[in-house]
Amino acid sequence: MNRNYIYLTILMLVLAVGTVLVNNEPKLKQIEPQQLLVEMVQPTRYVTTDQVAEMMIHGDPSLEIVDVRSAAEFEKFALPKAVNIPLDSLINPSNLSYFGIPGTRVVFVSNDDIAADQAWVLTKRLGYKSTYVMRGGLNCWMQTIIDPQEPGENEPSLAFETYTFRKGAQQYFTGAQAEAPEGAKVKVEVQRRKKTSVAAGGC
Amino acid sequence: MNKHHSKNSEPKYINPYLGGVLLGLLVLVTVLITGRGLGASGAIKSTVVTTAHVFTPEQAKSNAYMNKFISDDHSPMYTWLVFETLGIFLGGLLSGIVFGRVKKLRTEHSPKITSKTRLIFALIGGMLFGIGSQFGRGCTSGAALSGTATFALGGAVVMFAIFGTGYAAAYFFRKLWI
Amino acid sequence: MCPLIPNGIIGTGWDFVIALILGIAFGFILEASGFSSSRNIVGVFYGYNFVVLRVFFTALIVAMVGLLYFSYFGWLDLSKIFILPTYLIPMIVGGVIMGIGFIMGGFCPGTSFTAVAIGKLDGIVFTIGLYLGIFVFTEAYPLFGDFYNSGDLGNVTITDAFGIPASWVAMAFTVVALAAFWGTSLIEKRVRKNRSEYKF
């Protein structure tokens, strides 16, 4: 047999085996139900309104607030720099590009924390890491940040520290709202994952 | 005819593996550009629909199969596959000219049968292929080659059905060829 | 970024020019490989000439493996390419009919066009047969329309149907094809030894 054919045969075999080696990653990484359950019963996914407020005040670039309420509710009131992805369109491929960016933490926000929790389960199910839920949702945000209650006299000093912070945060947020009136919405600049490595050149 | 002579009269075809690699790259390029593979039988279908539409427009429109391919804004001939098939013809002509195979009309057949027999079987074979290609949603190029290359289940089914049947039936038609 | 036309990178106005160019390349390769000769083609069924098997399976594995690499490098979106729909039983029946037509007529549609181009009368008659066959099919369609549309599995791939990853499918086809190339070259040698009078 012609020796060239042997070389060609080997080349073709190597290329074919190569496809197996490079394409063995599953298309959609879903996590196991057991693992999902473990993560669900742990409260680590919750962040408090105070933590969110603090990160916002410090302009933490890794924070990304995703509002899962409907667009109409989002129009009425929303946290600054929040992105609106209604729950029913959460798993649209274009919306999924907000998640799973290395170095960012996605915090889901809804009126209470039920819808946000559902969104969290969905993204967990799809295998995205570092997604969180703002505990108590916007209702809690209103009570704690926008309208904080002064602690009673016998409360520990920690409560007073929190109150001081909340008072400051209240001024920050409500003051900021007064400066930039409704309607003049700041153009939100949000990080999005780059479309799957479309290499330059190619075909 | 001695062996030496028959060797010399073998037409010059390109190496089949080279042809295969080129064809494979062509299928690849076609998928990359158009998102679908090559085809051949679709153009004949367009021709059938067009002629039926021209001669008996009412009947063609009432035909449950044809009316899928008839639209009012353009002729069924104005489709991708028709132009591609025109290209197949031109490409064949080009290759024939390059390798010196374009000659006057002739029929190729086994010495054991007459030209007439060959042509009758070619007609029947063509008819069967035409009918089968509709059930199979494509012929050897559209379904078996391009379909299987894009990992379509149907393509592989058609490919194995065609070649399997070819081998199963080969014995009964051996006089036509050897 | 690929496929180019479905992704709108090449405008649809270029469709037919591209179709013509791709068709010319297709016809050239078919004719140059010897597919304009019916006795060449059917040799695959009698063991004296396996050119069909060589060209067909080489093309198949090159295209399959190539598609996977283009998809891996992110140049091609495999979810955007057309997947032939599967109608299981009608397709098997169609394949069987085509197989018999193949062995009787000695051509398949694409190859018959190249045979017409170089002046083969049997190619012309086969093409007329194709036309008549499809005409008969369309006229008789009401009789078997239900059967024609039965067993619709949708646009499924081998991966969808059996859960085998595409890369394994490609590798299996490659291994089988390479083995077949080697095996058939031995068969061809033996058959040709007994057929010194064979002429293409």
Percent of chain A past pLDDT 70, that is, above it, reads 82
Q: What is the pLDDT of residue C78?
A: 82
- The tens digit of pLDDT for each residue in C49-103 reads 899 999 999 999 999 999 999 988 888 888 888 889 999 999 999 999 999 999 9
Q: What is the DSSP string of chain B?
A: --HHHHHHTS-----HHHHHHHHHHHHHHHHHHHSS---SHHHHHHHHHHHHHHH-HHHHHH-TTGGGT--SSS-TTSSHHHHHHHHHHHHHHHHHHHTT---S-B----TTS-HHHHHHHHHHHHHHHHHHHHHTTS-IIIIIIIIHHTTBHHHHHHHHHHHHHHHHHHGGGHHHH-
Is the distance from CB of B125 to CB of C129 less than 8 angstroms?
yes
Q: The domain containing residue A76 runs over which residues?
A: 3-140
Q: What is the pLDDT of residue C61?
A: 94
Over residues A32-58, the mean pLDDT reads 82
Q: Which among A69, A66, A29 has a CA at the least distance from the CA of A192?
A: A66
Instruction: Assess if residue A17 is contained within a domain.
Output: yes
Which tokens belong to A51? 């933590």
Do residues B26 and C47 lie in contact, with contact meaning Cβ atoms separated by under 8 Å? no
CB contact under 8 Å between B17 and A8, yes or no, is: yes
Mean pLDDT, residues A119-131: 82
Q: What is the pLDDT of residues B135-145, one digit of tens each?
A: 999 888 889 99
Question: Model confidence at A135, in pLDDT bands (50, 70, 90)?
Answer: confident
Residue A15 lies in a domain: yes
Task: Note the pLDDT of residue B56.
Answer: 84
Is A13 in Cβ contact with C178 (below 8 Å)? yes
> How far apart are the CA of C33 and the nearest CA of chain A, in angstroms?
18
Task: Look at C61 and A197 and tell me if their CB atoms are within 8 Å.
Answer: no
User: Rounded CA gap, B48 and B76, in Å?
Assistant: 9
**Is the Cβ pair B32, A203 closer than 8 Å?**
yes
Nearest to A23 among C72, C174, C178 (CB): C72
Whether A31 maps to a domain, the answer reads: yes
- Nearest alpha carbon to residue B128 among B41, B62, B59, B37: B41
* Contact across the interface for B17 and A5, Cβ inside 8 Å: yes
Whether the per-residue pLDDT at C120 is higher than 80: the answer is yes
The whole-number pLDDT of residue B6 equals 44
Q: Hey, is the C-beta of B17 within 8 angstroms of any chain A C-beta?
A: yes
**Mean pLDDT on C167-193:** 91
DSSP codes joined into one string, A113-141 = SHHHHHHHHHHHHTT--SEEEETTHHHHH
Contact list, C70 vs chain A (CB under 8 Å): 203
Do the domain assignments include residue A32?
A: yes
Alpha-carbon span B94 to C31, nearest angstrom: 9
**Across the interface, do B131 and C5 touch by the CB < 8 Å criterion?**
no
Q: C142-152 pLDDT, tens per residue?
A: 888 889 888 88
What are the phi and psi torsion angles at A199 (to 5°)?
-70, 150
Of A177-191, B105-119, C174-188, the least confident: A177-191
> How confident is the model over A50-102, as pLDDT tens digits?
888 888 888 888 888 888 888 888 888 888 888 888 888 887 777 777 777 77
pLDDT band at A1 (very low <50, low <70, confident <90, very high): low
Contact A22, C165 (CB under 8 A): no
Structure-block tokens of residue A193: 């994952």
Residue A17 token pair: 């085996």
Answer yes or no: is A16 within a domain.
yes
| Per-residue pLDDT reduced to its tens digit, A192-203 | 554 333 322 222
Calculate how close chain B gets to C13, using CA atoms only, in Å: 11
Residue spans of the domains in chain B: they are 1-103, 105-178
Report the mean per-residue pLDDT for chain B: 86
Dihedral (Cα; B57, B61, B64, B67), 10-degree rounding: 110
B2 pLDDT above the threshold of 60 = no
How do A105-109 and A83-84 pair as beta strands? unpaired
CB C130 within 8 A of CB B141: no
Chains A, B: CB pairs < 8 Å: 3
Q: What pTM did the predictor assign?
A: 0.70
Side chain identity, residue C142: P
**How many distinct structural domains can be found in chain A?**
1
Asked if C179 reaches chain A (Cβ–Cβ under 8 Å), the answer is: no
Strands (E), C18-90: 86-87
- Distance CA(A120)–CA(A106), nearest Å, equals 9
Nearest to C127 by CA among A40, B92, B53, B41: B41
Q: List beta partners, residue A46.
A: A133
- The residue among A108, A120, A96 whose CA lies nearest residue A28 is A96
